[in-house]
Structure 1
Amino acid sequence: MPSFSERTMMIWSLCLIISLSNRILVIASSSRHLCRPYQKDALLEFKNEFHYNVMAGKTESWRNNTDCCSWKGISCDPKTGNVVELDLQDSFLNGPLRSNSSLFRLQHLQTLDLGLNNLTGILPASISNLKYLRNLTLYNCNLFGKIPSSLGNLSYLTDLDLSVNDFNGELPGSVGYLNRLTELRLVSANLSGKIPLALLNLSELTWIDLRSNKFEGMLPSNMSSLSKLIYFEISGNSFSGSVPPSLFMIPTLVDLDLGRNDFTGPLEIGDISSPSKLRVLYLGENNFNGPVPRSLSKLASLVSLDLSFWNTRRGNVDFTIFLHLKSLKLLHLSNMNTKTMVDLSLLSHLMSLGDLDLSGINLKINPTLNLPSPIKFLALSSCSIAEFPKFIQSQTRLIYLDISANQIEGQVPEWLWKLPVLWYVNISQNSFNGFKGSEDVIQKSAKVMLDISSNTFQNPFPLLPVSLMYFSCSDNRFPGEISREICKLVYLDTLVLSNNNFNGSIPRCFEYFNTTLSVLNLRNNSISGVFPAESICVYLRSLDVGHNKISGELPKSLINCTRLEFLNVEDNMFNDKFPFWLRLLPNLQILVLRSNHFHGKIFSSGASLIFPKLRIFDISRNLFTGVLPSDYFAGWSAMSSDVGIVDSTPDRILGRGSGFYHRSVALTNKGLNMELVGSGFKIYKSIDVSGNRIEGDIPTSIGLLKELIVLNMSNNVFTGGIPPSLASLTNLQSLDLSQNRLSGEIPPELGKLTFLARMNFSYNMLEGPIPQGTQIQSQNSSSFGENPGLCGFPLEETCGGNEEEATKKEEDEEKEEKDQVISWISAAIGYVPGEEGYGYLYEPGAWDGMVTSKL
């Protein structure tokens, strides 16, 4: 038997051998490159398929002399060295995903994430070459076209996310072959049609999110075949019919959102025998009618319930149903169309309630009411409330309060300003006339958004919390000059003072807002003087000073507002030449100079007037003169195509309650005055140059603006013929060329414009037959009056003469004009805006979920 010293020596020798062996293995493994050479080459080729405007993101670390398995975004199988994961989310990839991309040579990929890149183009069918894919994420990649049916060949796929893209058409039925799929996300993907029945074959699905698309039709009756479904969200579509009771029979279902669709009829939940796991049920903003089902009380696990806009047909609602839902944290019952008056004390038993919306329901509020204090969001708009609810004073966790559109009079109580975390207050559409509270209490209050519009406020102008970011006092009775109190709001993002009796000049103290102000609305007051150049904020996105008495020149300092999208100075006394420098504002979408004293030419021989994003151009009722060149409209891209323009100035600043800021502009359409508000800005495209002294031919390049809805060139001195290129404006609804000096015939092609509901050619020197066409023939004779040479219905004069010769002349003129338009299209396609004056879009006050940065 070895001695102790010999055993010790043997142990140390063994340890040394093991240590040396491990070191040798480590050295060997570090010198072996896992990455297979042909896969490295494919990755480097894939990187070079894109160009990078800012930086290369994760691909910046990719070098030919290093192991590709060590590159950012790459994971390899340690046994085989095959690339199995490629995660290039938000890596500044810029360019289409090619059908022959080297990406598809990575045959062993199991995870592919290219989300948040600019892959503008179609999703190629060759994506199915990656046959071992399990996770595919192409979220927010600017993809368009149809989703390829070859996607159904990815039989190993478990997670698919194609959300926030611009696809068209339906979801291909081939998705029904993805029998391993567990999660399907297609949020805001612009898809339409019905849900493929084959989707019900995917028994492994746990998550379906189809929010904000254009899906329609009825849900399949046998939804319970998705027996493992946990999350089902289809809000913001056009689904219709009744909700199948089988949906509530899925034993695993936890989250069900059917809101903002067109579902109808009474709701049948069915016989729920086992305890339901359902925690979230959103049914609001549909067309449900009839009584609220009592079976809702069986959903004892509910945490969030939304039944807003339920039509009870003015029937009664048994609100005791909700008392069985002891776990409720969110309850939205707004606009239920019930005659029942609700005693708010009924809900005092819901001890966890944190979000309550009873807007549109008649409420009884006892002065001694005491609701549980966890309430954070409270909306009681249009509830026939006559006194400021005193129970709010004890809601120390309250963040959001909307008591708009009630009948409350007098002053806002001082205790409201002392609520410690309350940041949003909407008391609009009441009869408040002032604030109670000392300067110290009010100005130190932590309020961020305050809407006091449509009340009876007048002098003195109220003290305001200095922390305000959003303030609206429109539609009150404020007289005199704009209060200097405004100057203390150094964090202000949105200021709306419209529809009051303010006079005097614009305060120069607005310069203090130069780091924050993005929306300024002084519309419809009696403000005079010149617009102070120093008051212009470089972050301005929306400026509306219409319907005042402002004079002088349009401040050229606006050129620094590269984020400006909306500019309206209508109905003032501006006396200036056309501001050609506005073309340097890369985001300008709406320009209204109507009814001022602007003068001179609207064309400069030294620079093309190119407005790539302009959708509304109104310079009517001014003193503009001169001749427009034939290619004048060649660079107005947004009116030439239906490509969506991102609008970062929200039409609705806030996403809850009624505290919204709406931009608006008055327009003339079909001979009627109208006001364009809200989402109409996204689709409305209009040109109005009427009421000036512009002369010469109508530019034939007008035919390029295929998305125009309204065109008004009346009351000018245009001469020559009506360009046949107008027939290209297939979306045109209103055309007014009256009171000019136009000659020749009305192009017969205009008779084919099926949307053209209103037209006016009167008071010109037109001749020949009025074209045949349903829309033209439906016009009143006054639309063609005072043209001595015109004949045919609806005029009384009959036509004669050599029609064959007239037709040949029209064809020759049309051919010549088409040749011109083709050359302008080429010029417009070749136009690329320079980088000078462009900058990143800063969005002050972009509150997640409440202050949106996109229209």
Structure 2
Amino acid sequence: MSSEWHLRLFFHSLLLLCCVSPSSLFNLNNPDDGLVSCHPHKIQAFTHFKNEFDTRGCNHSDYSNGVWCDNSTGAVTKLRVTACLSGTLKSNSSLFGFRQLRYLHLSENRFTSSSLPSEFGNLNKLEVLYLSSNDLFGQVPSTFGSLTWLTHLFLDRNMLTGSFPPIQNLTKLSYLDLAYNNFSGAIPSSLLSMPSLSHLDLHENHLTGSIQFPNSSASSKLVYLRLANNHFDGQILDPISKFITLEFLDLSFINTSHPISLSLFSSLKSLYYLNLSGNKISSASLSSDSYVPLTLGMLSLRDCGISEFPNILRTLKKLEYIHLSDNRIKGKIPGWLWSLPRLTSVSIAHNSFNGFQGSVDVLVNSSVQLLIMDSNKFHGALPNLPLSINILSVSTNNFTGEIPLLICNRSSLLVLDLSLNNFSGPIPQCLSHLVVVNLRKNNLEGSIPDVFNASASLRTLDVGYNRISGKLPRSLIFCLSLKILKVDHNIIKDTFPSWLKTLPNLQVLTLRSNKFYGPMSPPHQGPLGFPELRIFEIANNKFTGSLPPSYFVNWKTSSLTMNEDGGLYMVYAKNPYGVVGFTYTDSIDLQYKGLSMERQKILTSYSTIDFSGNLLEGQIPESIGLLSSLIALNLSNNAFTGHIPLSLAKLKVLESLDMSRNQLYGTIPNGLGSLSFLEYINVSHNQLKGEIPQGTQITGQSKSSFERNAGLCGLPLKETCFSTSAPPMQHHKQEDEKEEEEEEVLNWKAVAIGYGSGVLFGLVVAQAIASYKPEWLAKIICLNKRRNR
């Protein structure tokens, strides 16, 4: 398996609401709000409402949820329950009895099979209504038009459909967010004549046509407008330019048929953020003779078909962030770019740049902190970096020479990605202060510096596909934040690093194709450490020995729900309207047969194991069946003996299974035929016998997956299992073998239970179960809790 890391830049657009939250309108710590704790009977009514739903996902220690009452009247005026309720929001819900509500926050619940009840119209005192991220579907009822006191309405991230909601009568409405729904049709012209509307977010819908903006647009209060990812035509642009109060404008991927000219926005004298990504841009409007608002601080022109560097940028002295990735720009980066006084973040990935105008020090005195130059045609030595640099990614270029030691003088540097280049020489000794080090697929040699200490913040170390030798640095034991360690395809000669199991967060360990040797598990050792490990790759080394039955007990991979996504997120260019976010996302290209897809964020919910190409022997641990999130298992080319574990049938999401070229005997467990996701299985070159389990996923395999097993029969092999010369006791013999294997499963399950309260007790339980063979199995029920937000 090779692993590729991808850098992604996202504009995380935050409404002013993120700076001045609606909750501040009802600040519980401010006595001027007139809100107090409610009388018991009001609290009881609130509890009755919650009891209409499944509340097992609630964080009952979250004191931001609850009810508050008006100090003078005693009526419930604020109600907040987020990331908690699961069930159907019904029209007869007791919620609609709180007629004096002014603030209602019900976001991030699971209102399954729920449409928006028309009874919301009964809450006609509402000023703030949050219904975001609730799985709501259907149309917005006309009764919403009676909520005339509303100032903030958030229906985003649901599955709402139909034409535009009937809200034109809401004259006090200031914030409206309908993003990430399925609204269709045209935007009514009356929407933008609403006298108080300042923030409007309609992105990620199916809106079409043009917008008939009213003549009164000059008096509009609109400062924030987001229409991205819809299907508007070109006539939408001219009217937008009349909204001279706009400060934030996102028109990315609106699928207009005509090129957009930047000069259309010259009248927007207060514009700070402009996103035109995914649209064709008029090349003439990118020249230095054109005019754009000089107030621009953030400009995104990603994937716009641009072929020349936009000279218009040199006039933008307030520019903080420029995003030009995924275009066709070639040649050298102009030297004047680095002299822009406020420039903080530059993303020019996926173009054809080949160098820098000016000297090797042209970047040094710039104010740039984030520089993304992946997938271009840069070559030669790496230029001297800005003194202010925090994040540098130059992956997939042709930089050569040694990694410059000047990097050691950049104490602010946190993320360094030099992967897929042609750097040579040793790894610098000064990288211990970094958070991410990715030097994958270069020509580096020498050993990994043994320089880490207790203050190390290293999270990712990837030196795969180089010529690294020596041993793993023992000082890695100080890197308590380490999640990813990848040293595959080098010439490291060392024993298995069991000492790394003290690292509490290690999730990926890839030692593939080196010269590691010796036992994987010391004698009498119980479960493998590494409780957070999800990707475990040690293929093509010289590991020896056997694995104890409890080897895979206690792995977190037994859970199908894992909230850790392995991504690294950093915030840049903060401003009143949003932030630029840098996300370094874990992405692994699985090379297991049967798995052709690149798995991004694989750490979220899946795991893989590859022990192939070693000298491992003994039985395959039955505890492998505990790893319910396993999608790929490769144990091929070893010396494993014994039966194929029956517990493999419990791996319900398994997609690839390779146990070929071992010394396994007995039958193939029938349960493997029921694994509906199994795309590839190979048990060839063993000593298996009996009938191949029949199931769509198995009979569709190549016959080569079962060859060189003298006793196997049935599809996809040609050998039939119904020969008249078959001994009459064959069926009973197979049943005896199956009973024997079931006994092994019971022993393994008891050991797994025992590890909750002590190994010795577990072994005693195992012996008792093995002796009496009762007709029951212990079941472990995992309750998956929703992530609290």
Superposition TM-score, scaled by structure 1 size:
0.75
* Conservation of the 8 A alpha-carbon contact between 1:713 and 1:736: yes
Note closer, same or farther for the CA distance 1:391–1:594 as it changes in structure 2 (3 Å cut).
same
* Conservation of the 8 A alpha-carbon contact between 2:120 and 2:144: no
Q: In the alignment, which residue of structure 2 is the partner of 1:813?
A: 740
* Conservation of the 8 A alpha-carbon contact between 1:75 and 1:85: no
Of 304, 322, 326 in structure 1, the residue corresponding to residue 224 of structure 2 is 304
Of 279, 290, 310 in structure 2, the residue corresponding to residue 369 of structure 1 is 290
Superposed, 1:134-153 pairs within 5 Å as none
Q: In the alignment, which residue of structure 2 is the partner of 1:454?
A: 375
> Is 1:538–2:456 an aligned residue pair?
yes
Q: In the alignment, which residue of structure 1 is the partner of 2:415?
A: 494
Q: Per the alignment, in what secondary structure is the counterpart of residue 588 of structure 2? A: strand
Q: Per the alignment, in what secondary structure is the counterpart of residue 701 of structure 1? A: helix
Distance, in Å, in 2 between the alignment partners of 1:714 and 1:201 is: 66
Q: In the alignment, which residue of structure 2 is the partner of 1:726?
A: 648
Superposed, 1:749-764 pairs within 5 Å as 749-764=671-686
Q: In the alignment, which residue of structure 2 is the partner of 1:25?
A: none
Distance, in Å, in 2 between the alignment partners of 1:480 and 1:273 is: 58
> Is 1:324–2:247 an aligned residue pair?
no
Q: In the alignment, which residue of structure 2 is the partner of 1:745?
A: 667
Q: In the alignment, which residue of structure 2 is the partner of 1:665?
A: 588
Note closer, same or farther for the CA distance 1:494–1:373 as it changes in structure 2 (3 Å cut).
same
Note closer, same or farther for the CA distance 1:174–1:768 as it changes in structure 2 (3 Å cut).
farther
Distance, in Å, in 2 between the alignment partners of 1:608 and 1:369 is: 68
Q: CA deviation digits over 1:650-708, x for unaligned, max 9? A: 2788797796533333323443455333x333122111212222111110011111221
Note closer, same or farther for the CA distance 1:582–1:235 as it changes in structure 2 (3 Å cut).
farther
Superposed, 1:675-824 pairs within 5 Å as 675-677=598-600, 679-800=601-722, 801-802=728-729, 804-806=731-733, 808-824=735-751
Which ranges in structure 1 are unaligned for 5 or more consecutive residues? 1-72, 77-82, 87-105, 111-124, 149-154, 833-853
Q: In the alignment, which residue of structure 2 is the partner of 1:58?
A: none
Q: Which amino acid aligns with 1:519?
A: V
* Conservation of the 8 A alpha-carbon contact between 1:523 and 1:544: yes
* Conservation of the 8 A alpha-carbon contact between 2:426 and 2:444: yes
Of 284, 293, 310 in structure 2, the residue corresponding to residue 389 of structure 1 is 310
User: Which has the larger displacement, 279-288 or 648-657?
Assistant: 648-657
Deviation at 1:410, TM superposition (A): 3.3
Of 362, 381, 384 in structure 2, the residue corresponding to residue 463 of structure 1 is 384
Distance, in Å, in 2 between the alignment partners of 1:318 and 1:84 is: 48
Q: CA deviation digits over 1:195-220, x for unaligned, max 9? A: 44144443333223344454445444
Q: CA deviation digits over 1:231-287, x for unaligned, max 9? A: 2223344x15334331444333221222234x1532342655964422212122334
Distance, in Å, in 2 between the alignment partners of 1:709 and 1:220 is: 44
> Is 1:269–2:196 an aligned residue pair?
no
Q: In the alignment, which residue of structure 2 is the partner of 1:592?
A: 510
Q: Which amino acid aligns with 1:180?
A: Q
Distance, in Å, in 1 between the alignment partners of 2:306 and 2:58 is: 46
Of 395, 401, 406 in structure 2, the residue corresponding to residue 480 of structure 1 is 401
Q: Which amino acid aligns with 1:286?
A: N
Q: Which amino acid aligns with 2:205?
A: N
Of 439, 442, 448 in structure 2, the residue corresponding to residue 525 of structure 1 is 442
Q: CA deviation digits over 1:519-573, x for unaligned, max 9? A: 1111111111111112677101111111111111111111111011111112111
Q: CA deviation digits over 1:349-406, x for unaligned, max 9? A: 1111110001122222232123222211111122233333233223222221112223
Distance, in Å, in 2 between the alignment partners of 1:420 and 1:831 is: 63
Q: Per the alignment, in what secondary structure is the counterpart of residue 363 of structure 2? A: helix
Q: In the alignment, which residue of structure 1 is the partner of 2:105?
A: 185
Q: CA deviation digits over 1:315-343, x for unaligned, max 9? A: 54442021221211111111222231122
Distance, in Å, in 1 between the alignment partners of 2:682 and 2:518 is: 26
Distance, in Å, in 1 between the alignment partners of 2:652 and 2:142 is: 41
Distance, in Å, in 1 between the alignment partners of 2:699 and 2:138 is: 38
Note closer, same or farther for the CA distance 1:320–1:196 as it changes in structure 2 (3 Å cut).
closer
> Is 1:509–2:446 an aligned residue pair?
no
Q: In the alignment, which residue of structure 1 is the partner of 2:763?
A: none
Q: Which amino acid aligns with 1:285?
A: E
> Is 1:242–2:165 an aligned residue pair?
no
Q: In the alignment, which residue of structure 2 is the partner of 1:408?
A: 329
Note closer, same or farther for the CA distance 1:190–1:445 as it changes in structure 2 (3 Å cut).
farther
Q: Which amino acid aligns with 1:374?
A: T
Query: How many residues of Structure 1 are paired with residues of Structure 2 in the alignment?
Result: 697
Larger radius of gyration: 1
Distance, in Å, in 2 between the alignment partners of 1:717 and 1:268 is: 68
Distance, in Å, in 2 between the alignment partners of 1:127 and 1:643 is: 31
> Is 1:341–2:264 an aligned residue pair?
no
Q: Per the alignment, in what secondary structure is the counterpart of residue 616 of structure 2? A: strand
Q: In the alignment, which residue of structure 2 is the partner of 1:260?
A: 180
Q: In the alignment, which residue of structure 1 is the partner of 2:539?
A: 620
Distance, in Å, in 1 between the alignment partners of 2:85 and 2:488 is: 39
Distance, in Å, in 1 between the alignment partners of 2:144 and 2:430 is: 62
Note closer, same or farther for the CA distance 1:470–1:251 as it changes in structure 2 (3 Å cut).
same
* Conservation of the 8 A alpha-carbon contact between 2:58 and 2:85: no
Distance, in Å, in 1 between the alignment partners of 2:680 and 2:496 is: 30
* Conservation of the 8 A alpha-carbon contact between 1:240 and 1:264: yes
* Conservation of the 8 A alpha-carbon contact between 1:443 and 1:466: yes
Q: In the alignment, which residue of structure 1 is the partner of 2:3?
A: none
Q: In the alignment, which residue of structure 2 is the partner of 1:120?
A: none
Note closer, same or farther for the CA distance 1:156–1:621 as it changes in structure 2 (3 Å cut).
farther
Q: Which amino acid aligns with 2:364?
A: Q
| Identity within the alignment, % | 39
Of 130, 139, 150 in structure 2, the residue corresponding to residue 209 of structure 1 is 130
Note closer, same or farther for the CA distance 1:215–1:566 as it changes in structure 2 (3 Å cut).
farther
Q: Per the alignment, in what secondary structure is the counterpart of residue 410 of structure 1? A: strand
* Conservation of the 8 A alpha-carbon contact between 1:573 and 1:596: yes
User: Which has the larger displacement, 609-618 or 653-662?
Assistant: 653-662
Superposed, 1:344-363 pairs within 5 Å as 344-363=262-281
Note closer, same or farther for the CA distance 1:673–1:206 as it changes in structure 2 (3 Å cut).
same
Deviation at 1:497, TM superposition (A): 0.5
Note closer, same or farther for the CA distance 1:659–1:583 as it changes in structure 2 (3 Å cut).
closer
> Is 1:561–2:479 an aligned residue pair?
yes
Distance, in Å, in 2 between the alignment partners of 1:127 and 1:629 is: 53
Q: Per the alignment, in what secondary structure is the counterpart of residue 231 of structure 2? A: coil
* Conservation of the 8 A alpha-carbon contact between 2:569 and 2:582: no
* Larger RCO, structures 1/2 (Cα 8 Å, 6+ apart): 2
User: Which has the larger displacement, 523-532 or 650-659?
Assistant: 650-659
* Conservation of the 8 A alpha-carbon contact between 1:245 and 1:268: no
Deviation at 1:778, TM superposition (A): 3.0
Of 205, 209, 221 in structure 2, the residue corresponding to residue 286 of structure 1 is 205
Superposed, 1:5-44 pairs within 5 Å as none
Deviation at 1:719, TM superposition (A): 0.9
Root mean square deviation of aligned Cα: 3.5
Q: In the alignment, which residue of structure 2 is the partner of 1:226?
A: 147
Deviation at 1:494, TM superposition (A): 0.7
Q: CA deviation digits over 1:428-461, x for unaligned, max 9? A: 2233333345677732322111112222222242
* Conservation of the 8 A alpha-carbon contact between 1:75 and 1:84: no
Q: CA deviation digits over 1:756-798, x for unaligned, max 9? A: 2322222211111122333323333332222111112222222
* Conservation of the 8 A alpha-carbon contact between 1:781 and 1:795: yes
Distance, in Å, in 1 between the alignment partners of 2:394 and 2:325 is: 13
